[in-house]
Structure 1
């Protein structure tokens, strides 16, 4: 993420999202690169450069990550990986994948207090998927949401969630956290999350942390991992109230059919994140194979 400044984040994400939408809408005729570039107001050269810088792959290759066939194949792959991990006794997320996060749940008393006596820092940070509103307590990150505009109404969301807390805006710290969260090479164990939810919701979120970057999982499979087989609808509800986007990766949950399903910050952004992670994963695997 360090390649993109906060001032560039919104514009480059809008162009990328618009290009991907155009490519998907006209996939049957596979429009040439110059046509896609014109759609987003760039020359063919500058669009190719922007996209490759953002994703590390060509637009055509990126589009292949977003097909239903690829999604269904990813579901099968992740099921095999998770089954193998559990058979080997690797039940903790930090042992399943090179995650950069740990987490703790708030107590019922802390939730009831609604942030009384707590200072929460917040600010806007650049990400590959637009501007992110990030908030944190002394114990860790408690909110991460993607927004298309830096409007006060999104900051009001923090006030609704933590009505008794003291809110302190700190753009410098938000930028540092964004750089850490969206780093090209995340370091394990460097971020801590504060989870606020019911016991069931927390079980779902913790189970989701076992799904690695670039992998996909179905709602029903996630319900099983959370210890509640058959609770797919309740799992969907738990994902809908997730306040820590990307780090608790609800964007990796899709329908069995390969359809992306809903996403708190827009189904189009969900697809963009899935494709970006798939590209990053493939690049990492290629780098590893060359060693």
Structure 2
């Protein structure tokens, strides 16, 4: 059964929709053949049945024969056909090539300050049009793309042993406070801790047999950061060390960390005995896009499923289906972040990093549970 999302409207991403210019502004742009307004609106000529972009070099039509549209789709729905000269539907160089050109420019000047207006000039588009097309094509805005590239360079500098301050400014971040805010949101720890592979962090872990096989759970003082399934304890601890190579790893005992012991018990009750999924505090660590995917997965009701493409639509990134699938595959917190509820468009299981048998078992268990009993239990507010 496909999931109904009408109850989660408050979680959907708000889109910034640019209004059409005034009629006089549109007429002035057409008269000036203003290329910067391409994409802000389209105009059709009723005597020819053709619609164009503002910069089109075609012979000017009489003002009374013009009709204005907010999108090429709207013009075609009104039975206008696209102009072969200006290609208003975005075919040819007016489409992907311009966006790639902008992306390459950002990559080559990642440490420089740039504005949307400057990038729009490079693309020969209006700022609003560039913003919309870039997000549709790449899943993020030009600014978010630049920030991601800066963060990648920053992380690499830390790993290579650069000082934090040097890494901040060499990566293009303008201030220390800026990168600390970005770093905390994207990698879930301070820059110094990341440079040292989590050194200074205490991560408590434990292993437990469950109905899905051996499970390892680990947590920081912020919450659960790791839930993995495997065949033996050694391989699970190796995976934990790969995620946090220099963190202080501490084996849990009920005496020292009763919360973690209780959390594992609650998750095992959910997996093996059909208890509600425990609503535990989570320390999620990923990119801004991955966090958006994972946050939305937390809103899906047990027993419901959706496809990767539906998930992309509901986070406001309809063309980022592959990126959505990648975010699901990189989920480190199994079951608690329910990526198992995402299927292929044809209804088949798709992938699952802990094996399709576990994915099928989880889905079967959730389908069999009475729907009125599916309510998460409150998490403990105490830390480890």
Q: TM-score, with normalisation over the residues of structure 1?
A: 0.60
Mapped to 2, the partners of 1:90 and 1:151 lie a distance apart of 38
Contact 2:12/2:314, CA 8 A, preserved across alignment: no
Aligned residue for 2:282, secondary structure, equals strand
Kindly indicate whether residue 350 of structure 2 is the aligned counterpart of residue 261 of structure 1.
yes
Is the helix fraction higher in 1 or 2?
1
Q: 1:114 aligns with which of 187, 194, 197?
A: 197
Contact 1:254/1:261, CA 8 A, preserved across alignment: yes
Mapped to 1, the partners of 2:277 and 2:214 lie a distance apart of 22
User: Which one scores higher on RCO, CA 8 angstroms, separation ≥ 6?
Assistant: 1
By how many angstroms is 1:164 displaced? 1.6
Aligned residue for 2:216, secondary structure, equals strand
- Give the corresponding residue for 1:33: none
- Give the corresponding residue for 1:163: 245
- Give the corresponding residue for 2:225: 142
- Give the corresponding residue for 1:83: 6
Kindly indicate whether residue 261 of structure 2 is the aligned counterpart of residue 179 of structure 1.
no
Mapped to 1, the partners of 2:349 and 2:338 lie a distance apart of 13
Change over 3 Å in CA distance of 1:108–1:224 after alignment to 2: farther
Change over 3 Å in CA distance of 1:207–1:126 after alignment to 2: same
Mapped to 2, the partners of 1:186 and 1:125 lie a distance apart of 19
Structure 2 spans left out of the alignment, 5+ residues: 14-184, 375-384
Counterparts in 2 of 1:1-291, with a 5 A limit?
74-75=1-2, 78=3, 81-86=4-9, 89=10, 106=188, 109=191, 111-147=194-230, 149-170=231-252, 172=254, 173=258, 174-183=260-269, 184-186=274-276, 191-282=280-371, 284=373
Count of aligned pairs between the two proteins = 193
Bigger Cα displacement from structure 2, 216-225 vs 166-175: 166-175
Mapped to 2, the partners of 1:213 and 1:112 lie a distance apart of 38
Aligned residue for 1:236, secondary structure, equals helix
Mapped to 2, the partners of 1:187 and 1:240 lie a distance apart of 21
- Give the corresponding residue for 1:46: none
- Runs of 4+ in structure 1 off by over 6 angstroms are none
- Give the corresponding residue for 1:37: none
Aligned residue for 2:353, secondary structure, equals coil
Aligned residue for 2:369, secondary structure, equals helix
Aligned residue for 1:146, secondary structure, equals strand
Deviations for 1:203-224, whole angstroms, at most 9, x for unmatched residues? 1111111111111011011112
Change over 3 Å in CA distance of 1:112–1:250 after alignment to 2: farther
Aligned residue for 1:116, secondary structure, equals coil
Deviations for 1:112-159, whole angstroms, at most 9, x for unmatched residues? 453121100111123332221100111110000111x22312201111
By how many angstroms is 1:278 displaced? 1.1
Contact 1:145/1:245, CA 8 A, preserved across alignment: yes
By how many angstroms is 1:256 displaced? 1.5
Mapped to 2, the partners of 1:144 and 1:267 lie a distance apart of 17
Mapped to 1, the partners of 2:285 and 2:344 lie a distance apart of 26
Contact 2:302/2:366, CA 8 A, preserved across alignment: yes
Contact 1:145/1:244, CA 8 A, preserved across alignment: yes
**What do you get for the CA RMSD once the two structures are aligned?**
2.5
Contact 2:329/2:352, CA 8 A, preserved across alignment: yes
Mapped to 1, the partners of 2:8 and 2:242 lie a distance apart of 40
